[in-house]
Chain A
Amino acid sequence: MLLLLAIWWAVAAAHIWPEVFVPAPGAVWEQLWLTSSVHEGRRGYSGYLLHEHLLVSLGRIGLGSLYGVIGGIAAGLLIGLVPTVRTLLGPLVTFVRTLPPLAYFSLLIIWFGIDEPPKIWLLFIAAMPPVAVATAEAVRGVHEDYLNAARSLGARRWQLPYRIVLPSALPEVITGIRVAVGVAYTTVVAAETVNGVPGIGGMIRDAQRYNQTDVVILGLLVIGASGLLIDTFLQFIERLLVPWRGRA
């Protein structure tokens, strides 16, 4: 990490390329302060402080991922448990999964407007398939013995998915959720191309237009760092919920 920082600093200091291409680490550092404070009567970047941009984006990611996880688990259970649904929904999930977000975002704008709904929809559509696929695979992989054991102990048919299938599929589902949150994070920049300020993606896009490369790099670093934090948090949740994972 330190070595990379040193290389970056050296490349910038050598002035091989204009500062617009390689801003110095110092310039990015300065932008961190400028965008996080009120200075000369100006508030952060585009009227919002850096953490406000980040929180709004995280809120969108949280909401979109939440819907995506709920929808994904429901769809995954159905696909995994009911063969008819599998033949119908399975290809549909794969179909949606291959669509690039920017390609259909303009449709969402026409259908849902320019405020929050299209962004949440976009993140939902992006986050749902990984969870659905992971859940469906995990559900199909549940050991037949567990089900038979439960049935012989008197479990009802409707109790099986909730009491047996979901807990034993949980480790894979959580992996699916981690992937989904990552996908949602990469999609948020696409979602914030339209009316995205405040928002970290909107901030990057705005800075890009004005060739403010230092702000772009700051935004990327913030996204990377917060993404790392979120994933660490999810891993922590995973250890809490499925402590048996990796010890089978």
Chain B
Amino acid sequence: MKYRLIPALALALSLTACGSDTGPAQEAGGAPKEIRIGYQLIPNGDLIVKDQKWLETALPNTTITWTKFDSGGDVNTAMVAGSIDIGLAGSSPVTRGLSAPLNIPYKVAWIFDVIGENEALVARQATSIADLKGKKIATPFSSTSHYSLLAALQGAGLAESDVTVVDLEPPDIQAAWTRGDIDAAYVWTPVLGELRKTGTVLITSKELAAQGKLTADLAVVRTEFATAYPEALRTWLVQQDRAVKLVRSDKQAAAAAVGRQLNLDPAEAGRQIDELVLLDGKEQLGADYLGTPEQPGALAENLRSAAEFLNAQNKLPAVPELSVFQQGLAAKDLHDAFPG
């Protein structure tokens, strides 16, 4: 095995190493030649910006490359390889990225959405979380749902060993639920919608966020990029803010844009947007979120508590200091984009 492993690794590495050489080349005017964005199919403002080509319009001399990712873990890998500049990842993968051994040089620049009613714990028969003692609960491991599930169990006074937690991807959760193999699941839409038809919602991520166990989809920007092109980053932030404001002012247009990106009819897209909590630039400067450069927001504490959870799960060797996460928030860029 060893014989084969090393050349294969070496090959993979030389490929990624080649990839990392092709960072964005500087242009005279201070605008980058290219911005490489990693996006995910989540019904938030990012898809509106993409659909409306606002970034392309605002930065006419910059090539915008959009690459779709399926998970925050993949976004982390792409960041390590230096193949994207701005990416979307859940709070759990971002926590891992900011901690050792990954120590990815990136910062959280924006909260795309706070996970709300689009992720929830559904049970077949139980009426309270405590009823789940001894039951089998499925969730996709390493996801925000996994984190929320364990937080919910803890909140109800159950230890992880009191239940059987099974690692299943959403489509498999639906199959296992239909067959009756699992008693409960913490999962996101659209599978959540199917489970809700025959089950009872015990807790949603929105309720957990109110208890301080916040999960969110975050924008991470490569520190190198943020330092070299603060103006481009500001432009990017302004477009995201504009998308959130469009959702508030013209719901139909926003739903139509998101629907086009997700292949959903506008009514369904609109419903899915409503399940998320979207925050505009000013709100994100608040103490609950990114905060200000002088007073980093509570998001840093959320990330640190996610690190404690990962450490307890044996997925992180050590819990970093709070300051690591405070420095990981690009509050200054956000403040510059939305002064006053």
A residues contacting B by CB (< 8 A) are 1, 4-5, 7-8, 11, 16-22, 42, 45-46, 106, 109-110, 113-115, 194-197, 202, 206, 209-212, 217, 220-221, 223-225, 227-228
Which residues in A have their C-beta under 8 angstroms from that of B3? Answer: 4
A8 close to B6 (CB less than 8 A): yes
Which residues in A have their C-beta under 8 angstroms from that of B181? Answer: 113-115
Contact of A18 among B2, B80, B167, B168 (CB under 8 A): B80
Q: Bin the interface of chain B by size.
A: 35 or more
In the complex, how many angstroms separate the beta carbon of A109 from the nearest chain B beta carbon?
A: 5
Chain A interface: which of B50-58, B106-114, B118-126, B170-178?
A: B170-178
User: Is B156 an interface position by the 8 A CB rule?
Assistant: no
B175 close to A110 (CB less than 8 A): yes
What DSSP secondary structure best describes chain B's contact surface?
helix
Q: A7-B6, A209-B73 are in contact. Are A195 and B1 (CB under 8 A)?
A: no
Which residues in B have their C-beta under 8 angstroms from that of A19? Answer: 101
User: Is B239 an interface position by the 8 A CB rule?
Assistant: no
5 nearest A-B residue pairs (beta carbon)? A224-B1, A209-B142, A210-B315, A113-B181, A110-B175
Chain A to chain B contacts (Cβ below 8 Å), 30 pairs: A8-B6, A16-B17, A17-B17, A20-B101, A20-B102, A21-B12, A22-B9, A22-B13, A42-B314, A109-B172, A110-B175, A113-B179, A114-B138, A114-B181, A115-B181, A194-B169, A194-B172, A195-B166, A195-B172, A196-B167, A197-B167, A202-B167, A209-B73, A210-B96, A210-B310, A210-B315, A211-B73, A220-B1, A224-B1, A227-B1
A4 close to B2 (CB less than 8 A): yes
Q: A1-B2, A109-B176, A114-B172 are in contact. Are A210 and B13 (CB under 8 A)?
A: no
Which residues in B have their C-beta under 8 angstroms from that of A225? Answer: 1
* Per-position binary interface string of chain B over residues 155-192, scored 1 when its CB falls under 8 Å from any chain A CB and 0 otherwise: 00000000000111101100110010110000000000
Which residues in A have their C-beta under 8 angstroms from that of B6? Answer: 4, 7-8
- Measured in the bound complex, the distance between the Cα atoms of B1 and A220 in whole Å is 7
- Measured in the bound complex, the distance between the Cα atoms of B325 and A193 in whole Å is 32
- Measured in the bound complex, the distance between the Cα atoms of B272 and A229 in whole Å is 53
* Per-position binary interface string of chain B over residues 1-42, scored 1 when its CB falls under 8 Å from any chain A CB and 0 otherwise: 111011001101100110000000000000000000000000
- Measured in the bound complex, the distance between the Cα atoms of B168 and A205 in whole Å is 12
Which residues in A have their C-beta under 8 angstroms from that of B76? Answer: 211
User: Is B77 an interface position by the 8 A CB rule?
Assistant: yes
User: Is B229 an interface position by the 8 A CB rule?
Assistant: no
Which residues in A have their C-beta under 8 angstroms from that of B5? Answer: 217, 220
B13 close to A106 (CB less than 8 A): no
- Measured in the bound complex, the distance between the Cα atoms of B231 and A15 in whole Å is 33
B168 close to A114 (CB less than 8 A): yes
Which residues in B have their C-beta under 8 angstroms from that of A109? Answer: 172, 175-176
| Chain A residue with the shortest CB-CB distance to B176 | A114
| Chain B residue with the shortest CB-CB distance to A7 | B6
B167 close to A211 (CB less than 8 A): no
In the complex, how many angstroms separate the beta carbon of B107 from the nearest chain A beta carbon?
A: 18
| Chain B residue with the shortest CB-CB distance to A210 | B315
In the complex, how many angstroms separate the beta carbon of B97 from the nearest chain A beta carbon?
A: 9
Contact of A106 among B1, B171, B316 (CB under 8 A): B171
Residue among A45, A209, A221, A228 with max Cβ neighbours from chain B (10 Å): A209
Which residues in A have their C-beta under 8 angstroms from that of B17? Answer: 16-17
Which residues in B have their C-beta under 8 angstroms from that of A223? Answer: 1
- Measured in the bound complex, the distance between the Cα atoms of B16 and A227 in whole Å is 30
- Measured in the bound complex, the distance between the Cα atoms of B167 and A90 in whole Å is 38
B171 close to A221 (CB less than 8 A): no
- Measured in the bound complex, the distance between the Cα atoms of B182 and A225 in whole Å is 35
B9 close to A210 (CB less than 8 A): no
Residue among A195, A196, A221 with max Cβ neighbours from chain B (10 Å): A195
Which residues in B have their C-beta under 8 angstroms from that of A22? Answer: 9, 13
- Measured in the bound complex, the distance between the Cα atoms of B141 and A209 in whole Å is 8
Which residues in B have their C-beta under 8 angstroms from that of A197? Answer: 167
| Chain A residue with the shortest CB-CB distance to B77 | A211
- Measured in the bound complex, the distance between the Cα atoms of B12 and A223 in whole Å is 21
In the complex, how many angstroms separate the beta carbon of A206 from the nearest chain B beta carbon?
A: 6
In the complex, how many angstroms separate the beta carbon of B13 from the nearest chain A beta carbon?
A: 5
Which residues in B have their C-beta under 8 angstroms from that of A209? Answer: 73, 141-142
- Measured in the bound complex, the distance between the Cα atoms of B10 and A21 in whole Å is 10
Which residues in A have their C-beta under 8 angstroms from that of B176? Answer: 109, 113-114
In the complex, how many angstroms separate the beta carbon of B169 from the nearest chain A beta carbon?
A: 8
A21 close to B166 (CB less than 8 A): no
Which residues in A have their C-beta under 8 angstroms from that of B101? Answer: 19-20
Which residues in A have their C-beta under 8 angstroms from that of B138? Answer: 114
Which residues in A have their C-beta under 8 angstroms from that of B175? Answer: 106, 109-110, 114
Q: A110-B179, A113-B179, A114-B182 are in contact. Are A211 and B13 (CB under 8 A)?
A: no
- Measured in the bound complex, the distance between the Cα atoms of B73 and A109 in whole Å is 25
Which residues in B have their C-beta under 8 angstroms from that of A228? Answer: 1
B102 close to A114 (CB less than 8 A): no
B314 close to A45 (CB less than 8 A): yes
In the complex, how many angstroms separate the beta carbon of B296 from the nearest chain A beta carbon?
A: 26
B142 close to A210 (CB less than 8 A): yes
* Per-position binary interface string of chain B over residues 177-215, scored 1 when its CB falls under 8 Å from any chain A CB and 0 otherwise: 001011000000000000000000000000000000000
